[in-house]
Structure formats: C-alpha cells, structure tokens
A and B are shown apart, each in its own frame.
Chain A
Amino acid sequence: MTSGESVTVAAPDRKRPHRLAAMLRSQMRNIAPFLTLICLFGFFAAASPSFATLDNFGNILTQISVTGIIAVGLTFVILCAEIDLSIAAIANVTGIAVAYFTLQESYVNIANVPMPGWAAILLALALCALLGLVNAFGLTVIGIPSFIMTLAMMQIAAGISALLVRGQIAYKVPPLVTTLGSTSIGGIPWIVIVAALMLLGGHLVLTYTRFGRYVYMVGGNREAAEYSGLNVKLILGSVMVISAVCAGIGGMVGVAHFGSAQQNEFDTYLLDSIAAVVVGGTSLFGGRGGIGNTIVGLFVLGVLNNGLDHVNIDSFLKILIRGLILLAALVINVYAQRLRERTAD
C-alpha cells in the first residue's frame, strides 16, 4: 500500500502569510554565507584601521585568485554530489610540468625538456586533462566512488610531481604564464582577471547552457536524471575533467605567482577550495548552489585570512578559528538542505 505518498493537496493561497518565511527558509543557503561575509567584514573593519582600505581589498582579491580558479571546477563536481580531492595535487603537477618543459637557469639541477612556451602550456594542459580523464574513467566506468578515486589520484599526481622535480625547485615558466601569474595591467593583477574570467565562464556555463542544466539535474536527483534518459556517466565524467583542467590552470598561474615550482606547493589549496565552495552555500548533496555561492565563499575565506593578519592574532589560534568557521558553515549547509526539503514536502 502506498498511502504514504498519496495525494497531498497543495494550496499555495492558504500559505500566503507564511510565504515570506518560506522564501527566507528556502534561500537560507544563499543568505547565510552573505551575512557571514558582512559580519566578518564589519568586524575586521572596526578592529583594524588598515583592513578596510582599497589597497587591502586588492590584496584580498589577489590572495583568493588561485583558490578561485581551482574552485570553479570543484563547484561543478560538488553540484553533481561528487568530490575531487586531487585538485591541489593536479594543480601542483601541472605547475611543475609547465616549468619542466621550459628552459631553466643553469643552476637549476633538473633534467628538464625545454620547449617553446606554447608547447609547454599545451603539454601541461594535456597532462591535467589526462589526469581528469583517469578520474572520470575510475568514477564512471569502473565505479570507484569519487572520494576514493581522487584520493588515489592525489597520490599519483604527487608522485609525478616528485619524479619531475626530484626535490629541486624550478623558477622559469613560459612568458605567457609569467604575465598572467605575476604582472598587472592598469593596476589590476592579471591573476585576478584570470580568476574573474574563469568564474564568469563557469557561471555562464552552469546557468545558460544545456550542459549546466544537466549538472544541476544530475546533482538534484541522479536516479531521475537517468530515468529521464540523460547520459549521467558522461556528465559525471565531464565534470571530473573540468575540475582537473581548472586545477591545472590554477596551478600554472599559481607557480608564476609564487615565482617557483616545487613539490607540495599547493597542499593548502585542497581544503581552501572545498571550504570556499561549501562555505558559499553549494549543497554537498548536489543540485543546489553555483558559482555565485562560490564567489561569496571565496570572499568569506579571503576576508577571514586577511583580516586575522590585520588584528594581530596568535597565528596558531588562526588555524583553529578557520576550522570553527568552516564547521559553522557546514552545519548551516546541512541544516539549510533539511529546511528546504521540509518546505518542498
């Protein structure tokens, strides 16, 4: 007997007095991160005179750029209710690869393979795309959960990095990458422009293309997507490749930004990227959120990191505070999902 799922008559008119409350509840995941951002900004602006300046705002933008580039692809993955733990390692190996194919100074002791700049960039991009394809293959064809598959890929990419640099540090990258990573135009760092363009591109794809719609639908209800005749595996595979390529681009300009390519350079970016996406309000259960949320999340993390430097706080306490803020965001994320489900029922 299926009486449990039968005939609930919805009457929107009757609910009018509660409509505002219902709307606020359903928008909770978008509102909460924004409020967090405003609160943090207000707090640091009051606590430190050097925080709320135009110069410092530029600093924050630059500081969140690499995370932002990586988080674009991760947003696609999390929208599909999957995860990619290999992004930092892929960023690292791509940055190392582009340096590996560039002529280094004579004192750099790496057996590298110098090539023209464009070829180095293409090879590096091909490498990260290939690693993304391996993730996609493991997830969709073999059926390894993305959490485990990308955990393995994290090790594989770190292993390739280690083999390429063998404990050394490379400094040179192709001129185009150097320009994008470490120079400015009209006072605006190129890396901020790259991040902004990638975020914009991600937003356009997710909002205005058929593929973007499929990403949301697969994340919203994978079973239903399959029963609607969508090629779910193709979509899941695609987001894993997108994630790897975004991570690779982030790694390349990041290497230019930091001025060197070495092992474990990007390790902190894994948690930062996941935090940015989730703090922004994109649902870990998939189907809800987007690049807009990721941008808010990036600013929350950026303001928090930067602001804590301004208020002269114990740097060890800083780590703890970041952890607590992330926990709070996760609680809101799960809670918002539950509220929304209750409204929908």
Chain B
Amino acid sequence: MQSERQPILELHEITKAFGGVEALRGVDFALTAGEIHGLVGENGAGKSTLMKIIAGVHADFSGRFVLDGRETRFRSVRDAHAAGIAMVHQELSVAPDLTVAENVFLGSQPTNRLGLVQWRRMAREAGEQLKRFGIDVDPMSRLGDLPIGLQQLIEIARVLFSGARIIILDEPTSALSPPEVERLFATLRQLRGEGTSIVFISHFIEDILRVSDVVTVFRNGRKVAETPAVETSKSTLIEAMIGKGREALEETYTHDIMLPPPTDQPVVLNANGLTLAGRLREVSFEARAGEVLGIYGFMGCGQLELARILFGKIKPDLGTLAVAGNQKAFRSTADARRSGIAFVPESRRDMLFHQEPVYKNISISILDRISSLLLKPSRERAIATRQVDQLRIRPAAVELDLGMLSGGNQQKVALAKWLSYPPRLLVLCEPTRGMDVGAKNDVIHIIRDLRAKGLAIIVLSTEPETVLSLADRVIVLKRGAVVREFANEQISKDRLLEAA
C-alpha cells in the first residue's frame, strides 16, 4: 500500500558474521516514511542483528546502507542518533538508580544558560510525556523501584518521544500487560500518522499482524518473505519462519505433546511463597527426583531472579526453601552447593574461566571433595578426561584453554563441572540458548540421562522449544507470579505462549 512512496532507508546485500558464523547473509531491507514494519523470525534468525546495524550498534558489516538516497555508514550509536534513528533493545537498558525523569531525558537533560540541569522543567516535561502515553507516575521516583513492565514502558516512551524519525522496537511487549500493549499500539499508530517509520520485532505474531503495514520474515540469517500485513495470516507467517522440510532434529512443537503422569519420586526441593520486591510474588513449587521441571516465561518474568534464589546468590524477601525436607536459608552459593544444588546461569561468560584450561574449569566445583589441602592435578585431569569423553566435548583436550572451545562445547563444560559428583538438584538457565542443532541435541540428551539417573532438574527458559523438549512438568511465570501449571496433559507451543 506504500509502494509508490520512496523508501527513506534502504539496505542492500547486508552480510554480518560473528566469529566465523554468518548471522546475516545478503539481506535487503527497505523502510518507507510513515510505515510500521513488522519483523518476525525465530531466535537467531538475524532480526536483532539487522536492527542493530541500522541503529549503529554493529559498525562492522558488509553491504550498502542508504539513508535518504545517500549512502552512509554509522560508526556508532551516536551517529545513528544524529541521523534520527533510535532503538529500544530487547534487554532493558535503563539506569535504575536515576529518577524516572532523568531516564526519560537520558543524555539530553534540559539545561539553563549556565549548563545546569533544570530539574523542575525536566520533571514537568517528563511527567507530561509519560501521561500522554498513559503512564501516571511520579517523575522524581527512582526508576528501579518500579515494576519491570513499567520500566519497560518508560524506556519505550523515552525513545518514542525522542523525536527520532526511525524507531526500532525489539520485543517491546514481553513484560507488558494487554492494556499496556493497547496503549503502545495506539501511540505507534499516532506516530505513524505524523510520518515516523517504525520497525516492530515481536514473537507475538497476532500483535505483528494487528499493528504492522508490512511484515518481513527472517530465517537463518536470510530474508525469506516480505508481504503486506493484510495479505497474510498467522499460519502463513509461521510456515515461512520455521521453513518446510526442516530436519527432524529441529523439533518445532507446533503440534501437541503429552506430558507424563506425575512421578511419585521424593521431593528434592520445596519452594514456598518466594517473594522478591518488584520481581517475584509468592512463587511456590516442588521439584522431584527423576523429573525435569520446566519454568517458562517471557524475558523479565522473574526467572533469572528465581534461579539465583535457588542457588543462594540472592536472598528472597519472603518465603522458604527446603531441600529434601530440611529448611534452608542459604547465605552464599557455597551453602547451596553443599546442600547438593548445582547451577548453570544463562550466560556462559558468568560460569566459566576462559583463560584457564578445560580441566580446571571442570574440577573447580569438586576440588574440596578430591583434595583437602594440596591439589591433585593428575586426579583432576582424570576426572575431567572422563567427563570430556562422556559428554563428547570437542576438541577432547583437557589442557586447552576454555576460550578456544566453541560455544556449544563450552556449555557442555559448564554442565560437566557439576557431574563428577552429581548433585541432588540441577538448576539450568537457558541450557541450549545460542547453540547449533547438533550441540543442542547433545545437551538435551545429557539432561535426559541425568534425569534417568534420578537427579531433580529445573530448566528455566524464555524459549518454548527448550522447555517443551525437556520438561515433564511445566510452570509458567508471568510478571513474577506462577500463572499456570501443566502436568499430565496436552501441551504445545501455542498453549504455552497463550498462558504466558
């Protein structure tokens, strides 16, 4: 419908690689003035990478970048800002210790002639802007004290009212409630009417179809479809996203699967009423031996905090934990480890020692079991070698620095470090995120083996596929509270997404 208009932004043959792996392969993309352009695709399809190129985050790519008919190249986010391009990133990027007003005006506070910040004016204007967006909040309150959803809205508001003419929103609705989403859409339509171009990335295809003029589909770093929103449907888009004839390895879970009947194995962990201000509300569940409990929710639903409470890294404000029936109040992660809990965080960087050899990475968590005072390096190497063989870590060289391994193999090392003396409970955050299909499958098999050996396992993920491929029982977290439990029933990606 916008076809007669000139595009204001054109990208030609964009290719971008991260460490040898191509995230984008020869992608063309165009944006016209006053359009809302929806982007869909699975995790890792290249949507965010392309948008980060437009927003000046990635300056290192090949291809042509044409803005207003002139070929340009942004070297930084500042360049993109100067050209009127602003982006709301998937991960919340606010300054929690500053006030709401300071966040709204981040980097562009109103000042008087002496260069001093005009606090009163800033507070007033921030309040007015937010009210226009339907947010009624004291502009001088500390942003970090507000609920996550509100923080996300404020970040969006900041970008929407920054005066940018191209606005990119990457998963802006993940932590928002339905009325908040409605308000966002109304504002987007209003901005479109004023001539602003908007790129809207979302996993929620209904949202994309409702608000977009044009929809572009990405798969594996390529653009596979571009169509006016009125001429397509959810099922067509999903088909384009997932692709036909994919290998059986990549289970898509669009059909229903049946969760097994509940196990009568003993309860290993009992969480009761876990509450953390602004993050978690009275979360209760139990994890049983020989069972994988999946905890699913959108980004910002409180999963990360929940996992850290289970491993003694964060203390809950309220609520109790019991391991094998004994009440525990962990004062440190060392306490949790001694109680038989193992933890793998969502980011490998936080878990591993990149400059140390593989065997030291594997032995670190069990050193106190194999040596009292003096180290026993030969014993460490023997244990590490056994783990490397069992988990098929490649290259199979325990002396190699961990940083030389691929991401998938690093993830296996992160698991291996807990398995020489198996824990009672294994808490895994995003165990297969960012892995290729082969490594993903290996990890899934490792986790299933551990379950068969009688471990209690909790898998926390924002990816429905991860939860569905592993879990025997699923609980869904939404804005810090348990909203649904799936056990002994039919489950599918759709139902999971619906519940969240």
| Residue from A5, A8, A217 within 8 A of B360 (CB atoms) | A217
Are A7 and B407 in contact (CB-based, < 8 A)? yes
Q: Within the assembled complex, what's the spacing in Å between the Cα atoms of A225 and B361?
A: 10
Enumerate chain A residues within 8 angstroms of B373, measured Cβ to Cβ. 209-210
Tell me if A1 is interfacial: C-beta within 8 Å of chain B: yes
Interface stretch, picked from B17-25, B100-108, B251-259, B444-452, is B17-25
**Cβ of A6 and Cβ of B435 under 8 Å apart?**
yes
Q: Which residues of A have CB within 8 Å of B371?
A: 210
Say which one of A54-62, A115-123, A154-162, A229-237 lies at the interface with B.
A229-237
The answer to whether A217 touches B356, judged by C-beta atoms less than 8 angstroms apart, is yes
- Whether a CB of chain A sits under 8 angstroms from the CB of B351 is yes
B residues 318-373 near A (Cβ < 8 Å) are 332-334, 336-338, 342-345, 347-356, 360, 364-365, 367-368, 371-373
What residues of chain B lie closer than 8 Å to A340, measured between beta carbons? 355
- Is B49 positioned at the interface, with any CB of A under 8 Å from its CB? yes
Is B400's beta carbon under 8 Å from chain A?
yes
Q: Is the C-beta of B48 less than 8 angstroms from some C-beta in chain A? A: yes
A189-211 interface code vs B (CB 8 A; 1 in, 0 out): 00000000000000000001110
Q: Among the listed B45, B395, B439, which residue makes an inter-chain contact with A10, where contact means beta carbons less than 8 Å apart?
A: B395
A315–B19 CA distance with the chains assembled, in angstroms = 53
Instruction: Pick from B44, B336, B353, B408: contact of A3, CB below 8 A.
Output: B44
Please, which residue of chain A has its CB at the minimum distance from the CB of B311?
A227
Q: A6-B18, A210-B374, A217-B353 are in contact. Are A231 and B407 (CB under 8 A)?
A: no
A62 CB to nearest B CB, Å? 33
Contacts of B364 in A (CB 8 A): 213, 217, 225, 228, 230
Which residues of chain A have C-beta atoms less than 8 A from B43's C-beta? Answer: 1-2
**Is A224 close to B, CB under 8 A?**
yes
Q: Once the chains are docked, how many angstroms separate the CA of A341 from the CA of B349?
A: 13
Place the interface of chain A in its size category.
35 or more
Q: A2 — which chain B residues lie within 8 A by C-beta?
A: 43-44, 433-434
Within 8 A of B (CB), among A21-60: none
User: Within 8 Å of chain A (Cβ to Cβ): is B401?
Assistant: yes
Contact A229/B18 with A8-B406, A209-B373, A220-B356 known, Cβ cut-off 8 Å: no
CB interface residues, B 358-396, toward A, < 8 Å: 360, 364-365, 367-368, 371-375, 395
Interface residues of B in 427-447 (CB under 8 A from A): 433-436, 439
On whether A7 and B23 interact (CB within 8 A), knowing A210-B371, A213-B367, A223-B350, the answer reads no
Q: Tell me, rounded to whole Å, the shortest Cβ–Cβ distance linking B398 to chain A.
A: 14
Which residues on the A side are within 8 Å of B352 (C-beta)? 221, 224
CA distance A213 to B348 in the complex (A): 20
CA distance A231 to B332 in the complex (A): 7
| A9, CB-defined interface residue at 8 Å | yes
Chain A contacts for B137, CB-based, 8 A = none
Quick check: is A257 within 8 A (CB to CB) of the other chain?
A: no
Q: Shortest distance in angstroms between B481's beta carbon and chain A's nearest beta carbon?
A: 26
Contact A1 B47 (CB under 8 A): yes
Q: Which residue of B lies closest to A225 (CB)?
A: B364
- B417 at interface (Cβ–Cβ under 8 A)? yes
A4 partner residues in chain B, CB cutoff 8 A = 18, 23
- Contact partners of B360 in chain A: CB under 8 A: 213, 217
Q: Is A105 an interface residue (CB 8 A)?
A: no
The A/B interface has a contact count, at CB < 8 Å, of 147
Once the chains bind, are B407 and A227 in contact (CB under 8 Å)? no
Bound-state CA distance A164–B400 (Å) is: 55
- Complex CA–CA separation, A288 to B356 (angstroms): 10
The 0/1 profile, CB within 8 Å of A marked 1, for residues 56-86 of chain B is 0000000000000000000000000000000
In angstroms, Cα B170 to Cα A27, docked, is: 43
* A224-B353, A227-B350, A229-B337 known; A10-B367 Cβ under 8 A: no
Interface centre among A227, A229, A288 (most CB of B within 10 A): A229
- A175, B316: Cα distance in complex, Å: 56
Contact of B403 with A by CB under 8 A: yes
- From B45, B345, B368, B404, contact of A210 by CB (8 A): B368
* Residue of B372, B397, B406, B436 with highest tally of chain A CB at under 10 A: B406
Given contacts A7-B21, A9-B20, A209-B374, whether A221 and B354 have CB atoms under 8 Å apart is yes
Nearest B residue to A283, CB-CB: B355
The listed residue (A7, A210, A229, A345) touching B436 by CB distance below 8 A is A7
Assess whether A344 is interfacial by the CB under 8 Å rule.
Answer: yes
Compute how far the CA of A340 lies from the CA of B185 in the bound complex, rounded to whole angstroms.
Answer: 48
Q: Are B435 and A224 in contact (CB under 8 A)?
A: no
A345 to B402, CA, bound (A): 10
Q: Would you call B436 and A6 a contact (CB within 8 A)? A: yes
In the complex, B300 has a CB within 8 A of chain A: no
B interface with A by C-beta (< 8 Å)? 18-21, 23, 43-49, 90, 311, 313, 332-334, 336-338, 342-345, 347-356, 360, 364-365, 367-368, 371-375, 395, 397, 400-401, 403-408, 417, 433-436, 439
12 A-B residue pairs with Cβ-Cβ distance under 8 Å, sorted by A, are A2-B434, A3-B21, A6-B434, A7-B436, A12-B395, A12-B404, A221-B350, A227-B343, A227-B345, A229-B311, A344-B403, A345-B403
Given A1-B90, A5-B407, A227-B350, 7 other A-B residues pairs in contact with their CB atoms under 8 A: A2-B43, A7-B408, A210-B367, A224-B351, A228-B337, A229-B342, A287-B353
Q: Which 9 A-B pairs have the closest CB atoms?
A: A229-B337, A344-B403, A8-B19, A2-B434, A231-B334, A6-B434, A3-B23, A1-B48, A10-B404
